[in-house]
Amino acid sequence: MNVRRWRRWACRNSFSASGIILALLLIIACLLAPILAPGDPTTIDLTTGLQSPSSAHWLGTDELGREVLSRVLWAGRLSISTMAVVLLCCVGVGGAVGVVSGYLGGLIDNVAMRIADFFHAVPQLVLALALIGVLGPGTGSLITALIVTGWVRYARLVRSLVLSEQNSEYIVAVQAIGATHTRIILRHLLPSVTGPMLVQISLDSGATILAIAGLSFIGLGIQPPTPEWGKMLVDARPYLGSAPHLVLPPGLAIFVLVFGFNSLSAGLEHILRPGN
């Protein structure tokens, strides 16, 4: 990755660049939750319920006396790791299907792409919800549902990239030297698709964070008492008018992460574009 290009992009798009840095700081803070969080996120103490932010509780406490700051950090840790697992699996499964399907073509390609069409025809959230409905709500179902509905995009993307690369001279050349299929796929095709993949992964990171929060918001994602941003917002609903410190932090945290990932994807797209 070209540092000079990044620096030039960041100078011209200072707002997006600061969004990326802010998101990065938030991610680090969330991952360090066991060290940074001032208290346990699930310990209930009804004597200190609904306190406004103060020096003792930086973001105040919720209706059950739990530290909002600890909950935001722990929730972020869980959301970010869930997102990472989901995307890793989606990229792995989708990438494998896409490469094989694009490279081999024929019957395998036809069958794989028709199946992908069926998945693609339903909005992701709707299909994920159907899966959760059958499996029952919970973190495991959430991850399964997001993977089952998320691999398709990568399969299609990788397949189209492989198809466009496949007939390039360098691939024909290595084929002519007698390289095996596995070698061509791993050593030559995969490196050429990493750029567009990174743009898509970055975009999907934000979308996945939103999906996790949204599904937990309607009670079908991560289950209490585990803290989660969407769930924290629902629990704050009765205090919308009286306790803004319960509504603002989880929402802002989601916003910062999603904005950071969207900006990163825009930056990547700009930097990877040939001719820049």
Partner 1 sequence: MAIYLFKRISSSIVVLLGVSLLLYCLVYLAPSDPARIIAAQRLGGDVPGADEIEWVRKEYGLDQPLLVQYVSWLGRTVRGDLGYSIRTGNPVADELRHAVGYSLALAAAAMGLVLVIAIPAGVLAGMHEGSVWDRVMRFVSATWVSIPEFWLAFLLIACFSIQLRWLPSYGAKSWRHFILPVLSLGLISAARLAYLIRSAVLEELHQDYMRTARGKGYSYRMSVIRHALPNIVAPFVTMAAYQFSGLASGSVIIETLFAWPGVGSYYVDGIGFRDIPVIQVTALFFASVFMLANCLADVIIVMVDPRVRME
State the residues that interact with partner 1 by CB under 8 A.
Answer: 15-16, 114-115, 117-119, 121-127, 129-137, 206, 210, 213-214, 217-220, 230, 233, 236-237, 240-241, 244, 247, 250-251, 254-255, 258-259, 262-263
Q: Which long-range contacts (CB under 8 A, 24 or more apart) does 8-16 make?
A: 9/267, 9/270, 9/271, 10/267, 13/263, 13/266, 13/267, 16/263, 16/266, 16/267
| Rounded Cα–Cα distance for residues 72 and 175 (Å) | 53
Q: At its nearest, how many Å lie between partner 1 and the CB of residue 97?
A: 16
| Rounded Cα–Cα distance for residues 248 and 9 (Å) | 31
Residue closer to partner 1, measured from CB, 189 or 200: 200
Q: At its nearest, how many Å lie between partner 1 and the CB of residue 47?
A: 27
| Rounded Cα–Cα distance for residues 42 and 217 (Å) | 18
Do residues 262 and 272 lie in contact, with contact meaning Cβ atoms separated by under 8 Å? Answer: no
Residue closer to partner 1, measured from CB, 13 or 166: 13
Q: At its nearest, how many Å lie between partner 1 and the CB of residue 202?
A: 13
Residue closer to partner 1, measured from CB, 39 or 137: 137
Q: Is 232 exposed, middle or buried (0-12, 13-18, 19+ CB in 10 A)?
A: buried
Q: At its nearest, how many Å lie between partner 1 and the CB of residue 172?
A: 29
Q: At its nearest, how many Å lie between partner 1 and the CB of residue 255?
A: 5
Q: At its nearest, how many Å lie between partner 1 and the CB of residue 190?
A: 29
Q: Which long-range contacts (CB under 8 A, 24 or more apart) does 262-265 make?
A: 262/19, 262/202, 262/203, 262/206, 263/13, 263/16, 263/17, 263/19, 263/20, 263/23, 264/20, 264/23, 264/202, 265/199, 265/200, 265/202, 265/203, 265/206
Q: At its nearest, how many Å lie between partner 1 and the CB of residue 67?
A: 21
| Rounded Cα–Cα distance for residues 220 and 12 (Å) | 41
Residue closer to partner 1, measured from CB, 56 or 218: 218
Residue closer to partner 1, measured from CB, 16 or 101: 16
Residue closer to partner 1, measured from CB, 147 or 162: 147
Q: At its nearest, how many Å lie between partner 1 and the CB of residue 131?
A: 7
Residue closer to partner 1, measured from CB, 122 or 186: 122
Residue closer to partner 1, measured from CB, 134 or 176: 134
Per-residue burial over 189-220, b = 16 or more CB atoms within 10 Å of its CB, e = otherwise: bbeebebbbbbbbbbbbbbbbbbbbbbbbeeb
